[in-house]
């Protein structure tokens, strides 16, 4: 029996495992890096051990430190979560050699399925259909497009789509370097890329004796940069015959290696032909496991613990006795900006609230829900700091309902009404996807987000939102005055001119709001000002009243209303000369580490040519020249840490060495362009 369990992970998955442990009466231990000390999972554990440092390599990937933490706290079991050491056979053996219980599959199974090259051979022998492997020597034009994948990694990191054979060697090198950095193994392989296939996976739980329980399938086709964004169960528009064939193929895969514990067998499904092929087996709990839990009424973490304690398939089946029902959809809420090529974001979450949550980290009581329910698995809370050292996922929001359409509507409504202040998120894109007619019709594929353009449901830098922000700022200023408190700003016996404020939206567009303050309050053009406080403004236009909630943090002003969320920034009236940068400056788009500097000072570059590579949040970002010219400055070298907005290099145009200056603001194009490389949690 497990009495005290250490989770060798962080954030949302650590909290998820802790929730089941609390219900089962198992004590919990957290390990944390210096960057994570303030996150909720550290506070919620019964004991917590610091792993000195911030990078994954010196903290969560250091097996010796994790085992020492288990020894110091008296933990008798280790759960690896997902990512980090979860599919590291050497770590699993070290846990067992230390006399601890490993809540995961046998090390031999991890090794068998850990190499995507060798696992394909094993699956082919077991009668599971697989895609062929190619090499730069055997690939031909007829095989294009191709997919380069990391053998030891998971969906995203170390992955490249190649559309020209001439690009294949360089893409293999880049994928190998990223895989080595992320997993400590730079082995990659090449296979044909099915352009509009679907990513369908099957949840299995084995007892290690050759018996495998199958718990339905999930569709994870909606991806960006080969990372899953929306997942659901059961898979839409999938015939019963195809679903059954997938389930049986997954069962064969699990039986072939006498799998133990929870695992996922992933397939590529071609809806045009009805064929499917084995991609890989993830020998761990998947990020998207909640959709299976809500549809089948099971706790997969409890099942993992039961297997680790010696339970067989009959006992596991008793935990899954309830018949599956309804539909569940999960979205991954990321701190990233889809409008800027999915660029990861960092900073303080000044507000984090999702309305209507039924449960957190738990199975829904479907009988008591009525028509739909909402689950939240979050790694952060209001006040948490989103660092640049780890994955950018903030939370998973999951809706269950009797039908797929109801689940999508429930989830979209909750996301649209959420208060998410601080770093930019992909919330608006998720709402657009969930309300998209093609998605609602089940027409999903791995190219869904590439093929379609989505309007953001938020109101953008609208006149109404900007007006609400300006009046709330004015009210705050009025309330903070030590003299004439209570008198509207700019009140005079004889009005001379309006007050004015300029606000900037994330896309760089600006709005100027003018207002007059008199004995009767505020007056603005286009609206009737019904009510104003420092936190709320009600405006009326064409007889329709709308209330805007306003939150201020420094120069940032967040405006929430039924029309969506807008984040504005107050533009200073006067610019500090110290904020001026040379024209052609390449500014760091986010805090990170310089990985590569591709050019030298004095080099001639073309527009779009890579100048350097920055790594942040487990991703590599290529910073390119904004225009053709000469590299007049290189201010960084590989290994340097840079802050957001820091000048890294300067590309000057013309023959003169004298650069003109431009004021640094969020609308400048001097930062160069960035390309985000793939990654996954």
Cβ atoms of 212 and 261 closer than 8 Å: no
HSE, side-chain direction, 13 A CA sphere, residue 521: 13
Q: 577-676: which CATH number, 3.10.580.10, 3.40.640.10, 2.40.50.100, 3.40.50.150?
A: 2.40.50.100
pLDDT of amino acid 343 = 85
What percent of the chain has pLDDT above 70?
A: 88
pTM: 0.83
Among 458, 450, 399, 469, smallest CA distance to 431 is for: 458
Model confidence band, residue 273 (pLDDT cutoffs 50, 70, 90) = confident
Q: 4-103: which CATH number, 3.40.50.20, 1.10.3720.10, 1.10.150.120, 3.90.190.20?
A: 3.40.50.20
pLDDT of amino acid 115 = 83
For the stretch 433-475, pLDDT in tens is 999 999 999 999 999 998 888 765 444 458 999 999 999 999 9
For the stretch 407-441, pLDDT in tens is 999 999 999 999 999 999 999 999 999 999 999 99
> What is the chain's mean pLDDT, rounded?
88
For the stretch 52-78, pLDDT in tens is 999 999 999 999 999 999 999 999 999
Residues 473, 536: Cα–Cα separation, whole Å: 10
For the stretch 498-543, pLDDT in tens is 899 999 988 788 999 999 886 678 999 999 999 999 999 999 999 9
Handedness of CA 264, 267, 269, 273 (dihedral sign): negative
Highest mean pLDDT among 14-23, 194-203, 649-658: 14-23
- Where do the structural domains in the chain lie, given as residue ranges? 4-103, 326-434, 463-570, 577-676
For the stretch 190-222, pLDDT in tens is 887 877 899 999 999 999 999 999 999 999 999
**3-class DSSP state for residue 438?**
helix
pLDDT of amino acid 675 = 45
Arithmetic mean of pLDDT, 333-343:
89
Residues 286, 137: Cα–Cα separation, whole Å: 35
Question: Does position 663 have pLDDT exceeding 80, yes or no?
Answer: no
For the stretch 565-602, pLDDT in tens is 999 999 988 766 555 667 778 888 777 788 889 888 88
Model confidence band, residue 496 (pLDDT cutoffs 50, 70, 90) = low
Helices (H), 232-280: 240-256
pLDDT of amino acid 138 = 82
Domain 463-570: top CATH class: alpha beta
The domain defined by 326-434 folds into D-amino Acid Aminotransferase; Chain A, domain 1 (3.30.470)
Arithmetic mean of pLDDT, 25-30:
98
């Amino acid at each position: 029996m497990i009495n005290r369990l250490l989770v060798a992970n962080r954030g949302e998955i650590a909290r998820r495992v802790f929730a089941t442990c609390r219900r089962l009466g198992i004590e919990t231990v957290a390990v944390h890096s210096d960057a994570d000390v303030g996150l909720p999972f550290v506070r919620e554990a019964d004991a917590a051990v610091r792993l000195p440092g911030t990078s994954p390599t010196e903290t969560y990937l250091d097996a010796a430190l994790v085992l020492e933490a288990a020894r110091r706290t008296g933990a008798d079991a280790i759960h690896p979560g997902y990512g980090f050491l979860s599919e590291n056979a050497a770590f699993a053996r070290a846990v067992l050699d230390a006399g601890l219980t490993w809540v995961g599959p046998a090390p031999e199974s991890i090794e068998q399925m850990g190499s995507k090259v060798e696992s394909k051979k094993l699956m082919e022998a077991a009668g599971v259909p697989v895609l062929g492997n190619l090499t730069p020597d055997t690939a031909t034009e007829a095989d294009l497009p191709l997919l380069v994948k990391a053998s030891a990694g998971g969906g995203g990191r170390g992955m490249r789509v190649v559309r020209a054979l001439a690009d294949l060697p360089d893409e293999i090198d880049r994928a190998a370097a990223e895989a080595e950095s992320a997993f400590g193994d730079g082995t990659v392989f090449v296979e044909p890329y099915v352009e509009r296939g679907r990513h369908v996976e099957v949840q299995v739980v084995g007892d290690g004796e050759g018996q495998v329980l199958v718990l339905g399938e999930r569709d994870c086709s909606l991806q960006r940069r080969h990372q899953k964004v929306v997942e659901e169960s059961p898979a839409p528009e999938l015939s019963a015959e195809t679903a059954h064939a997938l389930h049986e193929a997954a069962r064969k895969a699990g039986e072939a290696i006498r799998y133990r514990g929870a695992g996922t067998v992933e397939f590529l499904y071609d809806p045009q032909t009805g064929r499917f092929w084995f991609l890989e087996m993830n020998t761990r709990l998947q990020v998207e496991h909640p959709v299976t839990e809500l549809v089948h009424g099971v706790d997969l973490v409890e099942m993992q613990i039961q297997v680790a304690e010696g339970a067989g398939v009959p006992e596991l089946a008793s935990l899954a006795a309830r018949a599956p029902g309804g539909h569940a959809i999960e979205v991954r809420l990321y701190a990233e900006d889809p409008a800027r090529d999915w660029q990861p974001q960092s900073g303080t979450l000044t507000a984090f609230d999702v309305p209507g949550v039924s449960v957190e980290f738990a199975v829904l009581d479907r009988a008591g829900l009525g028509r739909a329910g909402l689950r939240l698995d979050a790694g952060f809370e209001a006040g948490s700091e989103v660092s640049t050292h780890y994955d950018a996922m903030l939370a998973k929001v999951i809706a269950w309902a009797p039908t797929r359409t109801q689940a999508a509507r429930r989830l979209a409504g909750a996301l649209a009404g959420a208060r998410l202040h601080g770093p930019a998120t992909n919330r608006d894109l998720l709402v657009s996807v969930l309300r998209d007619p093609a998605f609602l019709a089940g027409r999903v594929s791995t190219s869904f987000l590439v093929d379609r353009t989505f309007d953001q449901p938020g109101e953008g830098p609208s006149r109404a939102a900007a007006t609400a922000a300006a009046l709330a700022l004015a009210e705050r200023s009025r309330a903070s005055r030590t003299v004439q408190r209570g008198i509207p700003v700019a009140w005079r016996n004889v009005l001379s001119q309006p007050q004015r404020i300029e606000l900037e939206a994330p896309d760089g567009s600006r709005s100027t709001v003018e207002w007059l303050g008199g004995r009767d309050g505020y007056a603005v053009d286009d609206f009737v000002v019904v009510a104003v406080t420092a936190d709320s403004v009600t405006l009326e236009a064409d007889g329709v009243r709308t209330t805007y909630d306003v939150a201020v943090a420094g120069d940032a002003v967040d405006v929430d209303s039924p029309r969506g969320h807008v984040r504005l920034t107050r533009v200073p009236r006067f610019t500090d000369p110290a904020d001026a940068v040379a024209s052609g400056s390449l500014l760091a788009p986010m805090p990170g580490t310089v990985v590569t500097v591709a050019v030298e000072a004095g080099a001639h570059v073309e527009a779009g040519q890579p100048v350097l590579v920055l790594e942040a949040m487990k991703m590599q970002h290529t910073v390119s020249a904004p225009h053709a010219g000469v590299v007049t400055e290189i201010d960084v070298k590989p290994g340097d840490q840079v802050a957001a907005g820091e000048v890294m290099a300067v590309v000057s145009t013309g023959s003169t060495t004298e650069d003109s200056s431009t004021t640094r603001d969020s609308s400048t194009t001097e930062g160069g362009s960035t390309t985000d490389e793939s990654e996954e949690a």
